[in-house]
Amino acid sequence: MENIDNTHLIELIQKLKEEKTMEIQNQVISEVLKSRFMCPVVLENAPKGGGKIEVNKDTKIQFSIIKTQDGKNYLMAFTSDPEVHKWQKTKVQQSIIYTFEDYAKIVTSNDNLAGFVIDPMGCNIVFTADMIKEIKNNITKETVVEKDTEVQLGIPKDYPEELANKLRDVFRNIEEVKEAYLLLMTNGDELSYLVILDADGKEKEHFNTIASAAIPFLDKMPLNLLAANTEFGETAKKDFKPFYTKD
């Protein structure tokens, strides 16, 4: 089992229990999106190679679940080996490393699952299916602008300086990012931020990192992400100046 480190997430969760603010809650969500968890499973037909169990198309995965008093089933997401052992004292339990995206796919495709819980014998933070859908659908998404779509772009009247500064910090640590645009996008009745990114053709590789960093600064405003090398991106670049340019 590869090592995972969720120290910062545990610190944020503890802080949230002490200070129940929206800002800290968003920071927890942001860190969860970046974290990796141990999901206890039983693997059938999994070949062994080099001392490791391999998962392939023939491998059957049976998930271990925890059931609440009201009869709802939750997957478990453990932040460390010690947390796994609080649940199961022996060390024979198999685990797969999963991200938030992995849990989201499993939960949203299975009506028998109500969500997943982080460290049920520890911090016991629950992400319900509705919460998962809200995080995935309403906070950040990659933009696909169809040809002839009537979309209006502009500079936000109340410019989100904290969001812009955070994104600049992120971009400074991503070598491929050459420039970025932060705009307000109106599509029908929908209003959202739009970040157009020029990252040498590798934009999509960094969308999750950008989304995770942005969440605490969005104030429930959706954030759309778009590669600059798209037709819509190229058109938008002609009318606006970048808010970030690589030094």
Separation between Cα atoms, residue 32 and residue 116, nearest integer Å: 12
Phi, psi of 16 (to 5 degrees): -65, -35
Contact 195, 224 (CB under 8 A): yes
Q: Which two tokens stand for residue 103?
A: 């849990």
Residue 147's pLDDT band (cuts 50, 70, 90): low
Residue 231: what pLDDT? 85
Label residue 71 left, alpha or beta by phi (over 0 means left) and psi (-120 to 50 means alpha): left
Separation between Cα atoms, residue 139 and residue 108, nearest integer Å: 17
Is 60 exceeded by the pLDDT of residue 54?
Answer: no
Q: Which two tokens stand for residue 100?
A: 């938030």
Is 60 exceeded by the pLDDT of residue 109?
Answer: yes
Among 15-29, 76-90, 131-145, 189-203, the minimum mean pLDDT is found in 131-145
Residue 141: what pLDDT? 56
Residue 4: what pLDDT? 86
Q: Which of 58, 92, 61, 79 has the alpha carbon at shortest distance from 4?
A: 79
User: What value does the mean pLDDT take over residues 170-184?
Assistant: 93
CB atoms near residue 50 (< 10 Å): 5
* pTM metric for this prediction: 0.61
Q: Which domains does the chain have, with CATH numbers?
A: 7-138 (no CATH), 140-245 (3.30.70)
